[in-house]
Structure 1
Amino acid sequence: MDTLRMTISLRPQRTSAPAGSSVGGDASGSTGQRPTKRSTNGLRARAALRLLRRRVLVMIPTTILVSLGIFAVAAASPFDPLTAHLGDRYQSATQAQRDAVTQAYDLDQNWLQAWWNWWADILHGDLGWSSTKSQTVAHVISERLPFTLGMSLAALISAAAVAIVLGAVIGMRRGGLFDRACTALAAMLAATPPFVVSLVLVSVFAVGLGWLPTSGARRPGDDYSVDGLLTHGVLPYLALTVSMIPWLLLTMRSAVVDAAASDAVHAARARGIGGWTLLRGHVAPVSVLPTLALLGTRLPELIAGAAIVETVFGWPGLAQALVDSAVALDFSLLAGLGVGSTILVLIGSALSDAAAVWIDPRIGLSA
């Protein structure tokens, strides 16, 4: 009887509801109700925006410190900028000529003063003058950036698409022949430097088979054209894409294997869910997060790989300009390219993390 009386006395508390709420859990928007899809998307967007705002605040001091480091390291370089400026005339140049060149390009200026003057010019909208290219830095970057940016973005998108799709397939079929072959090939390519991949492609498709040109972005004497860019860009595009696939592929495969072994996926299988529906609805949304995070952390490698690939294939991007500016201590161009690359890496990393937060706000990225 005591137990019965307790049950009866508790029944009104269990069935009563606060004023203004709906019994049964319908989406009325009141307190205690399940959030709607629109409110969930709003929470995701706000979480991603908060992360982006924090990253912008971190980006400012990081950029300043990187620029300071670029000038300091360039000043400690053993290269003599006067040799680069005079070239073949260095040995025959008189002391007066050397002094004139030194004064014209401020080669005797302290690196800290050069760094301060560079930032002062930047704040006034002047990127400086490139002594190695005899052009403004803004013109050098605007002329070469489309080649580097187009190649890098195309390779990044292709590598991510291949890695995500192929990694999902072999991860769901772990241990099979196809999985072992792809994993072994990815491990081998991950240990292969981009310039080796580039040389192999040149040896096979350009020298051996003669299907594609070896370097440049156009034939000598021709103007740039879509056909010329596509033809000359095939090999550097393949080299850069192949160099980026392995780590993304192995990461995606590992994430899919872990997700497939989770309790949620086992419960979905028990309910009769399988195949493409299981992969799309339960495995892929969780597995893609590590791949997105890796994209942000591998952006420096993408830029370094693009510089190597451009040098091997003579692609008219920013790589050769960066090398020339470093050898000649062309502070304006070197700092512009270095700081610009840093900003691109920071922006790319922030966007990849913001995308991960938008997909799943529970991961709680804060910096």
Structure 2
Amino acid sequence: MTSYIIRRLIMMIPILIGISIISFAIMYAAPGKPAILNLDPEISAEVREAQIERLGLNDPIPVQYVRWLGNVAQGDFGTSYSRKMPVTEMILDRLPNTLLLMATSLFLAAIIAIPFGVISATRQYSLTDYGVTFGSFIGLATPNFWLGIMLIMVFSVQLGWTPIGGVATIGADFSILDRLKHLILPALVLATADMAGLTRYTRSSMLEVVNQDYIRTARAKGFRERRVIYKHGLRNGLIPVITMFGLMLPTMIGGSAIVESVFGWPGIGKLFIDATFQRDYPVIMAITMFGALLTVIGNLIADILYAVLDPRIEY
């Protein structure tokens, strides 16, 4: 297992480099120099050209890429064009908020979707099964931004139970309850689509498991149905579902961009949206690489968990 993990970590390097080359080429192939948009329009042409030259934007794109890659290898993603701040500092400042939102969303998706998927599988073709299936399709089809706006209108505007947006009440002392009130709606919205898909995956996997011979043997021994399903069946049924958790990590970055914008949550997703509108390429590249890193790490975690859940799997 250790050698397998080391090989996979080494394989990440060319994959990430390939993603960075494609992303860098696409962004810098766009017409115009984005840094010019953030320069003082009243400065002279000579000063403007001097600043562009200082930023290295007159160099060929391959030269700019090699210089950028060398800085990234040292942990420097450059300076934001719009905010004139180190990109690494901006991301680290927003990262805890995004990780909190993602962790809460994963937790909500797991504790809600997996039990519902198991119930739906064990009561196949019942009203409960049809209800869970219908709810899953609704969750998959509902846009995150629309659901977020509707929840804000109901729970924040009409009922006044939750804040409209932000991560905490401005000017108030730190309070866990206050943070939870700000967190619950964006976390629920972010978890909705993954929750629906996870329910369907769990149901499909459990339908295959409950008809296996070892499940019938456990029932024949007189074990309680709950023990048969959750102790003997669920562990094997969760193996395909683990793939979903590995792939949910990068998709939550994309989903959080919309959710954080709707709720004004100061995370990486909102930072990415703002940087896109401002054509702040250093920020965009840094967040793109962060999402790519989450993707390859998520796949690696999924493979490792396969072996943890099923000792028959060897690498």
Instruction: Give the aligned partner of residue 285 of structure 1.
Output: 235
- Within the candidate set 50, 56, 65, 2:18 is matched to 65
- Within the candidate set 76, 84, 87, 2:29 is matched to 76
**What SS does the corresponding residue of 2:312 show, helix, strand or coil?**
helix
Instruction: Give the aligned partner of residue 141 of structure 1.
Output: 91
Q: 1-side partners of 2:155 and 2:31: how far apart?
A: 39
Instruction: Give the aligned partner of residue 344 of structure 1.
Output: 294
- Within the candidate set 283, 286, 303, 1:333 is matched to 283
- Within the candidate set 94, 101, 112, 2:62 is matched to 112
**What SS does the corresponding residue of 1:315 show, helix, strand or coil?**
coil
**Cα offset, 1:186, TM superposition:** 0.5
For residues 16-74 of structure 1, give each alpha carbon's deviation from its aligned partner in whole angstroms, at most 9, with x where no partner exists.
xxxxxxxxxxxxxxxxxxxxxxxxxxxxxx4xx34422321221111111111121111
Relative to structure 1, the CA distance from residue 133 to residue 187 in structure 2 (aligned partners, 3 Å threshold; closer, same or farther) is same
- Within the candidate set 260, 263, 267, 1:317 is matched to 267
Residue pair 1:306, 1:319 contacting (<8 A) in 2 also: yes
Relative to structure 1, the CA distance from residue 50 to residue 192 in structure 2 (aligned partners, 3 Å threshold; closer, same or farther) is farther
**Cα offset, 1:235, TM superposition:** 1.4
For residues 54-104 of structure 1, give each alpha carbon's deviation from its aligned partner in whole angstroms, at most 9, with x where no partner exists.
321221111111111121111123575145314xx54x5553453244234
| Residue 358 (1) aligns with residue 311 (2) | no
| Residue 205 (1) aligns with residue 150 (2) | no
Letter in 2 for 1:248: L
For residues 124-156 of structure 1, give each alpha carbon's deviation from its aligned partner in whole angstroms, at most 9, with x where no partner exists.
343322222221122111111000011101111
Letter in 2 for 1:81: P
Instruction: Give the aligned partner of residue 5 of structure 1.
Output: none
| Residue 178 (1) aligns with residue 131 (2) | no
Relative to structure 1, the CA distance from residue 125 to residue 255 in structure 2 (aligned partners, 3 Å threshold; closer, same or farther) is closer
Q: 2-side partners of 1:259 and 1:173: how far apart?
A: 14
Relative to structure 1, the CA distance from residue 278 to residue 75 in structure 2 (aligned partners, 3 Å threshold; closer, same or farther) is same
Residue pair 1:215, 1:313 contacting (<8 A) in 2 also: yes
Letter in 1 for 2:96: P
Instruction: Give the aligned partner of residue 250 of structure 1.
Output: 200
RMSD: 2.3
Residue pair 1:129, 1:136 contacting (<8 A) in 2 also: yes
**What SS does the corresponding residue of 1:129 show, helix, strand or coil?**
coil
- Within the candidate set 235, 239, 245, 1:295 is matched to 245
Q: 1-side partners of 2:149 and 2:44: how far apart?
A: 43
**Cα offset, 1:296, TM superposition:** 1.3
- Within the candidate set 114, 137, 145, 1:187 is matched to 137
Unmatched 5+ stretches in structure 1:
1-45
Unmatched 5+ stretches in structure 2:
none
**Cα offset, 1:232, TM superposition:** 1.8
**Cα offset, 1:299, TM superposition:** 2.6
- Within the candidate set 98, 103, 114, 1:153 is matched to 103
Which of structures 1 and 2 has the bigger CA Rg? 1
Relative to structure 1, the CA distance from residue 220 to residue 78 in structure 2 (aligned partners, 3 Å threshold; closer, same or farther) is farther
Identity of aligned residues (%): 30
Q: TM-score if structure 2 supplies the norm length?
A: 0.90
Letter in 2 for 1:321: L
Letter in 2 for 1:337: I
Letter in 1 for 2:273: V
Relative to structure 1, the CA distance from residue 78 to residue 269 in structure 2 (aligned partners, 3 Å threshold; closer, same or farther) is farther
Q: 1-side partners of 2:98 and 2:37: how far apart?
A: 25
| Residue 121 (1) aligns with residue 95 (2) | no
Q: 1-side partners of 2:272 and 2:122: how far apart?
A: 43
Residue pair 1:205, 1:212 contacting (<8 A) in 2 also: yes
Q: 2-side partners of 1:348 and 1:299: how far apart?
A: 6
**Cα offset, 1:346, TM superposition:** 1.5
Q: 2-side partners of 1:306 and 1:195: how far apart?
A: 10
Aligned residues: 315
Instruction: Give the aligned partner of residue 118 of structure 2.
Output: 168
Relative to structure 1, the CA distance from residue 328 to residue 116 in structure 2 (aligned partners, 3 Å threshold; closer, same or farther) is farther
Q: 2-side partners of 1:51 and 1:177: how far apart?
A: 46
